[in-house]
Amino acid sequence: MCGICGIYGLHDKEIIQRMCKTLAYRGPDNEGYFYDSNLMLAMRRLSVIDIETGKQPLYNEDKSIILVYNGEIYNYRELTKELKEKGHIFTTNSDTETIIHLYEEYGEGLLKHLRGMFAFALWDLKRQQLFIARDRIGIKPLYYCYNSKIFAFASEIKSLLVHPDIGRELNYKGLHDYLTFMYVPAPNTIFKDIYKLLPGHFLIYENGNITIRQYWDLDNDDIILKDISKYDENDLLEKLSNLIEESIKIHLVSDVPLGVFLSGGTDSGSIVAMLSEITDTPIKSFSIGFEDNYLNELDNARLVAKRYKTDHHEFIIKPQNIDFIQDIISYFDEPFADSSAIPTYYVSKYAKQEVTVALSGDGGDEAFGGYGNYKADKIILYYNSLPSFLREKAIPFFTDKLKHSSENLSFNYRLKKLIAMSRLSPELGHVFWLSIFDRELKDRLYKDIMLRTLLNNDTLNRYHDYFSRFNKKDFINQCICVDIKTVLPDDYLKKVDMMSMLNSLEVRVPFLDHKLLEFAVNIPSKFKLKGLTTKYLLKKIMKKKLPNEILEGKKKGFSIPLSKWFRDDFSALIENYLSENLIRKRGYFDYKLISLMIKEHMTKVKDNSKFLWTLICFEIWHQKYLN
């Protein structure tokens, strides 16, 4: 695992060296550079495979192809064997060299042969062509800047910002979208002229022009399993179980110690259970918990650890432990308000003390239909079939009488949001469930004229294209595919990458192996959401492997107890980052609404913690990157 960056054109070597040093925590073991008259490449390496000879940049035999690469290719040994049979000569035992020889053999077609997570840049000296690519799901990040002065790329935005020709101009559309979702959706970023390379895409820079192409998608004709309708439940269980086991096996390729994040949920518990059947080596497991019982899953994690005799490590997060929360949030070089980043940082920090690689259950909710919003989607489909009198008058009348909740997780909060969903199309309702600031709130919040011009630019509408792309699937599977294309790479995977790399830890996600995912998204949703039971097939596979407390327990997620902490230990954050003087000085937002939200939250009239946290994270980012 590494950090990579590069600049095309004539530039001072000191610039690329400074860009590279900003990525030092991504690769603390060594660094490497390539200098050419037209291009400079750099990388920082975290050694995981072929520790001695896997250094980068790496060259082919005549040094006409140069590669910097971040990630892991899990099938590299099989590919290396095939390439050697074709006459290719290898000088290392690394997965990095496999990419170079695949390019020599297949050109751009190399990508379909890779099984793993990756972001890389390959310079073809003879063709004077730069080829950069990102893995199918977006597990590894890749950003680029393209304007009249420069083309540059990097694993993180902060590396690009080192370059004097790359400005720090706010992208108002990015801010508008951030307030909807708590993250900035791809391909945009919060900065003008800086973009995310979309998952499953590659970019070619040649003769001053860029070409971006998609090489993989969930709806590709060659991955739609046309005969899946012939599978009965037992066939699906067998096939899915085999694919999960195969994925876990290939994710074990490593020359350094390896462990597992054990959250206490079905996904991470499944990883531990199946891993224990594959390996005789004692499993190191790592868990994070809270004093707040509602969000604490440590008891469940301990049940799995005890059953499979793991070498178990756990840590309790308390508000007073988070003495540098501003630093954690500011490491995201865009505004990012998913509070589960904080426990992800801490579990990575403590895992790194024991291992260099950790397996995670991320992706299980998307692959097997585990999120609560899929239940909401299904309920809305039923709700919309009710008589119009009930939908339009009786039920809304009842919900209007419910008091506002001081907890976002309460029944009446969820019920009110469901009713609001029902007034939208099912597609927009799905996206609305995931949103924070809606249009009405933004109308009250926005003071800046540039933001107000975006009010009619509905962030939710952009998702119509995604739903249309997957219109051959049933509605729940459409929602799952849309989430895989959007919130998964832009929120969940970004969070895991940033927080783990900040601790120089490589995290692998077996449930996001593309072969497993290609099969899973084509399983009819009736086998994922049985009634309102989520992850039906996975839970059935794990019925004899995991305790009932986990399989039948309520999903708690991985977020911190913001609502409670804001009224206690986090109150200083409100004073420091949402003060009247500061909000008025910025000029983006109306302080009257923010003041009302603070008052409502502190007096337990409403739970406004997500709104407040979203605004605080923006201000923390602003102070570091725009001040």
* Residue labelled with tokens 């206490």: 264
Token pair 């509408």 in the structure block, residue: 461
Tokens encoding 140: 């590894």
Strands 129-134 vs 116-124: parallel, antiparallel or unpaired: antiparallel
* Active-site annotation holder among 2, 5, 20, 479: 2
Whether residue 2 lies in the annotated active site? yes
Q: Which residues, at least 6 apart from 52, have a Cβ–Cβ distance to it below 8 Å?
A: none
The answer to whether the annotation marks 95 as part of a ligand binding site is: yes
DSSP string, 329-358: HHTSSS----TTHHHHHHHHHHHHTT-SEE
Sign (positive/negative) of CA torsion 103, 107, 110, 111? positive
Report the candidate in 159, 162, 191 with the shortest Cα–Cα distance to residue 178.
191
Cis omega (within 30 of 0) on the bond before 187?
A: yes
Token look-up 């989430």 returns 483
Nearest to 475 by CA among 374, 383, 385: 374
Amino acid letter, 57: P
For 49-94, the DSSP string reads: SSTTT--SSEE-TTS-EEEEEEEEETTHHHHHHHHHHTT---SS-S
Is 155 among the annotated ligand-binding positions? no
Angle (nearest 5°) at CA 140 between 138 and 141 = 85
- Please give the Cα distance from 190 to 193 (Å, whole number): 9
Tell me the two tokens of residue 300.
Answer: 């469940």
Catalytic positions are: 2
Residue positions forming the annotated binding site for ATP? 288, 360-361
Residue positions forming the annotated binding site for L-glutamine? 95
Residue positions forming the annotated binding site? 95, 288, 360-361
